[in-house]
A and B are shown apart, each in its own frame.
Chain A
Amino acid sequence: MALIRRPLELALLAFPVALLAAALGLMAIVRGGEDPGSTVRIVAIFAAVLIAFHLTIAIRLPQADQELLPIVETLVALGLIAVDRLVPGLAPRQLLWVGLGSTAATATAVGIPRIDWLGRYRYTWLMGGLLLLALTIVFGIDPNGSQTRLWIGANGLYFQPSEITKVVAVIFFASYLADKRDLITHAPIRIGRLSLPPLAYLGPLVLMWGLSLVLLVWQRDLGVALLFYLIFLFLLYAATGRTYVGVGIAFLCVGALVSLALFDHVQLRTRIWLDPWPSAAGDAYQLVQALTAYAAGGVLGAGLGFGYPEYVPAVHTDFVLAALGEELGLLGTIAIVGLYVALVFRAFRIALRATSDFAMLFAAGLGTVLGVQALIIMAGNLRLMPITGITLPFLSYGGSSILANFVMVGLLLRISAESPSDGGSGG
């Protein structure tokens, strides 16, 4: 059949569907007496969304990477499983966002003229992104009681601008670094044994980056600020081959200490990270419950539907890993980490095959965003570092997060479609 131009992707997409069907079926049985129709409906709609996505790409971008989407959809399936387990009524809404995200992804992948076109309007995009961030200063609301006003929206439909700003920041950094690459690589400022990036040439870049950080810190969205910082460092390395590790870490420590001094919620989170036990019933309750959940899960897990994730506050947004950790055990958690590794790996493969500097840096940047974000959140959930307020890509419940992450996937698919493939399947 001429329509099976991407057989590998089609075959691999069977995994997320099978996963969703098995897990939701399991939970339906465990819950007992529940309307099986809703389970079947969710799986059917999910499969339909996947097939629609696959067909659109098969028709319009057949040379794109074939392993990326299945990895993403497996994570999405896990996210749906988690939501259905934790807050059953929200599953259709998560699915809605998945559908919207898939539409946005295909629209992005197919709709933009060329990847390099995005780079040309980098200031426009970034200004738009920063404006959105600034809007939260004026119009921001706090629907979750997190004491940070990071959302815009009303009537139950909320939207977090920093998710979009993430993407446009990567466009900006990648495009700027691609243009100025040679200048920056060959002119570091040396102070003794430390290398500093040549700030004169990096002027506009540092300015834009500084502006984003100021806005984020002003809004106390420190998790995303950390993300921006690390992405910047990484893209600098990808573009120039110089790590600026010494300086990078030094500034990070300075920033961390400053935010520690300035913000009481940072002090709180650091305190419960370092020693949660004294305040286990109070401030550190969420973290301690999460740790207990992992312990309860053990290696094999308590089984879907058999755990007690309701004891972890805000579990469907902030601590999804704890819920899945309890019910799927260490095996499940390792599999999740493995999926994120696969995702980042795929993104970097796409980056390495890109034909223009911008496309390469852009793909690498997108992969870094997804990977570092997942890393920061999982580390926070596991008490390897203080909790931050960012979401686990595709797994956490959250519309703007899913939407933005899907757009990134669409962009990655587009980049891979524009690169020469080596004549193999899967790219």
Chain B
Amino acid sequence: MVSDDALILALRMAVVVVLYAFLLTLVVLTQRELYREASARSTSAPGARLVVVEPGATAQAPGHTIPLDAVTRLGRSADNTIVLDDDYVSAAHAIVLLHGGRWWVRDAGSTNGTIVNGSRIDGETALSEGDTLQIGQVVFRLAS
């Protein structure tokens, strides 16, 4: 017959152990989750490039492909990831981002708007492979 005291001690330890085992499990799960997302992002993120369809007034060549980062800023000013020197492009025109395994484009408050597949977008829209993206007079296509 186990003494009451031993049982009490065992249960006291059990309480602490269960709590910390749970927290530790959460930490491990989170690590794995973040690692998985990081590697998924770097390898097979769909539609990882923009192909220049129409260069507008910029010096880009048609057919030229530009790889996309997780966050890619497009605009006329020099601090953008992709600098587009076209009169109809605003200094900060649009942002293309990878989020939840999909590509999205967000208008950054441009004067002439960001156009996806012919329609001007309002805020943020998902981009799929083959979609066309028009910034000013420059037209891109999303490709993998």
Residues of A within 8 A of B (CB): 8, 12, 15-16, 18-19, 22-23, 25-26, 29-30, 67, 70-71, 74, 181-182, 185-186, 301, 303-304, 328, 331-332, 335, 338-339, 342, 345, 352-353, 355, 357, 419-420, 422-424, 426-427
Tell me the interface secondary structure of chain A in the complex.
Answer: helix
Give the chain B neighbours of A16 by CB distance below 8 A: 22
CA distance A328 to B12 in the complex (A): 9
Interface string of B2-30 (1 = CB under 8 A from A): 00100110011011101111110110011
Identify the 10 closest CB pairs spanning chains A and B, nearest first.
A26-B11, A15-B22, A22-B14, A335-B19, A353-B100, A19-B18, A186-B109, A338-B23, A420-B100, A22-B15
CA distance A30 to B9 in the complex (A): 11
Q: Is B63 an interface residue (CB 8 A)?
A: no
Contact across chains for B101 and A30 when beta carbons are under 8 A apart: no
The total number of A-B Cβ pairs within 8 Å is: 87
Give the chain B neighbours of A71 by CB distance below 8 A: 26
Give the chain B neighbours of A345 by CB distance below 8 A: 30
Give the chain A neighbours of B14 by CB distance below 8 A: 18, 22, 26
Which residue of chain B is the closest to A11 with respect to CB atoms? Answer: B25
A-B contact pairs, 7 of them (CB 8 A): A12-B25, A15-B21, A25-B11, A74-B22, A182-B123, A342-B23, A427-B33
**Quick one: which of B23, B36, B99, B126 contacts A424, CB cutoff 8 A?**
B36
Contact across chains for A426 and B19 when beta carbons are under 8 A apart: no
Contact across chains for B101 and A420 when beta carbons are under 8 A apart: yes
Which residue of chain A is the closest to B19 with respect to CB atoms? Answer: A335
Give the chain A neighbours of B107 by CB distance below 8 A: 182
Contact across chains for A303 and B12 when beta carbons are under 8 A apart: yes
Given A182-B123, A303-B8: A331 in contact with B16 (beta carbons within 8 A): yes
Contact across chains for B4 and A335 when beta carbons are under 8 A apart: no
Q: Is B102 an interface residue (CB 8 A)?
A: yes
Contact across chains for B8 and A26 when beta carbons are under 8 A apart: yes
CB proximity of A108 to chain B, nearest CB, Å = 23
Contact across chains for A422 and B22 when beta carbons are under 8 A apart: no
Residues of B within 8 A of A (CB): 4, 7-8, 11-12, 14-16, 18-23, 25-26, 29-30, 33, 36-37, 40, 99-102, 107, 109, 123-124, 126
Given A345-B30, A424-B33, A426-B29: A29 in contact with B15 (beta carbons within 8 A): no
CB proximity of B7 to chain A, nearest CB, Å = 6
Contact across chains for B100 and A67 when beta carbons are under 8 A apart: no
CB proximity of B68 to chain A, nearest CB, Å = 18
Give the chain B neighbours of A18 by CB distance below 8 A: 14, 18
Which residue of chain B is the closest to A356 with respect to CB atoms? Answer: B124
Give the chain A neighbours of B25 by CB distance below 8 A: 12, 15
Contact across chains for B36 and A332 when beta carbons are under 8 A apart: no
Give the chain A neighbours of B124 by CB distance below 8 A: 357
Contact across chains for B23 and A339 when beta carbons are under 8 A apart: yes
Give the chain A neighbours of B22 by CB distance below 8 A: 12, 15-16, 19, 70, 74
CB proximity of A80 to chain B, nearest CB, Å = 13
Given A335-B20, A357-B123: A420 in contact with B15 (beta carbons within 8 A): no
CB proximity of A318 to chain B, nearest CB, Å = 23
Contact across chains for A19 and B100 when beta carbons are under 8 A apart: no
CA distance A257 to B116 in the complex (A): 52
CB proximity of B140 to chain A, nearest CB, Å = 22
Residue in A12, A71, A182, A352 whose Cβ sees the most chain B Cβ within 10 Å: A182
Given A335-B19, A420-B101: A426 in contact with B12 (beta carbons within 8 A): no
Which residue of chain B is the closest to A338 with respect to CB atoms? Answer: B23
Which residue of chain B is the closest to A19 with respect to CB atoms? Answer: B18
CB proximity of A354 to chain B, nearest CB, Å = 8
Give 15 A-B pairs besides A15-B21, A18-B18, A426-B29 with Cβ atoms closer than 8 angstroms.
A15-B22, A19-B18, A22-B14, A23-B15, A25-B11, A26-B12, A74-B19, A186-B109, A335-B19, A342-B23, A342-B26, A345-B30, A353-B99, A420-B101, A426-B33
Give the chain B neighbours of A30 by CB distance below 8 A: 8
CA distance A182 to B110 in the complex (A): 11
